């Protein structure tokens, strides 16, 4: 039962007033769809449908799917915490922890980050604050530059592993089964360590990995080429 048109006619059109397209709108609904349906939700056709148009229309605002993915990733990275205070080392860990939490906070986002490089302002801000903290900690600037790369990759990888793990109903996935079944003759060390290989809460492994990285990066001289 449609109500009567309120007040004045809505300028020539009747429908819900379909917001105008824009890159911002495209990226926003892309992130929404990702959040709701994971990686398969982030398709040009689905974004187009959500915006009540055809897929061809999006090419005005985005040059292809890869660009959309990278824009959506950067948008999501806007939630990474600003670097707070405290000792440089705990600041580095805070940033990376927040980074991991953001990646794990939406289904498919960590996996997206693994295959897409974000180059927008939010990604740059994360890099910038990591560099600042490391350099403040007295780290050689060159090592800091290379190290940031390592840290981000590592954290992204851990986040992807972790969220793949929680996405499935079986807690540990095929790797657990494979290592558990590894024959003691062919794979003695795996056999002996198969519990260790998968042990530890995600949390404690994460903290350990960060410490190991920071330690290694700080102590390893770069080649003098």
Partner DNA sequence: ACCTGAACACCGTTCAAGT
Query: Where on the chain is the footprint of a copy of itself (CB under 8 A)?
Result: 70, 111, 114-115, 117, 119-121, 123-125, 127-128, 131-132, 135, 141-142, 144-150, 153-154, 156-158, 161, 173-175, 177-179, 182, 186-190, 192-193, 196-197, 199-201, 204-205, 207-209, 211-217, 219-220, 222-223, 225
Q: How far is the CB of 206 from a copy of itself (least distance, A)?
A: 11
C-alpha 206/C-alpha 221 separation (Å) is 24
Token code pair at residue 51: 């915006």
Q: How far is the CB of 28 from a copy of itself (least distance, A)?
A: 21
Instruction: Tell me 216's DSSP state.
Output: H
C-alpha 31/C-alpha 71 separation (Å) is 9
Q: How far is the CB of 141 from DNA (least distance, A)?
A: 38
C-alpha 55/C-alpha 140 separation (Å) is 48
Q: Quick one: 10 or 150, whose CB is closer to a copy of itself?
A: 150
Q: How far is the CB of 98 from DNA (least distance, A)?
A: 29
Q: Quick one: 81 or 209, whose CB is closer to a copy of itself?
A: 209
Is residue 35 within the footprint of DNA (CB under 7 A)? no
Contact of 71 with 25, CB cutoff 8 Å: no
C-alpha 225/C-alpha 202 separation (Å) is 38
Choose the contact partner of 24 out of DNA, a copy of itself, none; CB within 5 to 8 A by kind: none
Contacts with DNA by CB under 7 A: the residue count is 18
Alpha helices in the chain (DSSP H): 23-37, 44-50, 65-76, 88-105, 109-115, 121-136, 141-167, 173-180, 188-197, 202-219
Contact of 63 with 44, CB cutoff 8 Å: no
Cβ burial 81-105 (10 Å sphere, 16+ → b, else e): eebeeeebbebbbbbbbbbbebbbe
Q: Quick one: 41 or 147, whose CB is closer to a copy of itself?
A: 147
Q: Quick one: 48 or 151, whose CB is closer to DNA?
A: 48
Per-residue x/- mask for DNA, residues 56 to 85, rule CB under 7 A? xx-xxx--xxx-------------------
Instruction: Tell me 19's DSSP state.
Output: P
Q: Which residues are near DNA by CB under 7 A?
A: 20-21, 40, 43-46, 53-57, 59-61, 64-66
């Amino acid at each position: 039962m449609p109500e009567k048109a309120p007040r004045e006619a809505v300028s020539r059109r009747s429908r819900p007033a379909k917001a105008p397209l824009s890159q911002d709108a495209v990226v926003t609904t892309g992130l929404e769809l990702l959040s709701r349906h994971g990686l398969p939700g982030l398709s040009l056709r689905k974004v187009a449908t959500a915006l009540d148009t055809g897929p061809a229309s999006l090419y005005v605002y985005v040059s292809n799917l890869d660009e959309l993915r990278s824009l959506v990733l950067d948008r999501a990275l806007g939630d990474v915490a600003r670097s707070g205070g405290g000792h440089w080392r705990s600041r580095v860990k805070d940033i990376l922890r927040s980074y991991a939490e953001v990646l794990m906070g939406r289904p498919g986002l960590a996996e997206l980050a693994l295959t897409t490089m974000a180059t927008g302002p939010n990604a740059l801000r994360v890099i910038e604050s990591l560099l600042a903290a490391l350099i403040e900690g007295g780290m050689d600037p060159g090592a800091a530059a290379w190290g940031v790369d390592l840290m981000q990759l590592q954290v992204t990888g851990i986040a992807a592993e972790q969220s793949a793990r929680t996405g499935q109903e079986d807690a540990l996935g095929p790797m657990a089964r494979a290592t558990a079944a590894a024959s003691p003759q062919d794979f003695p060390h795996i056999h002996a360590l198969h519990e260790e290989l998968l042990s530890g809460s995600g949390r404690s492994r994460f903290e350990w990995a960060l410490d190991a990285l920071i330690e290694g990066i700080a102590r390893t001289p770069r080649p003098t080429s």
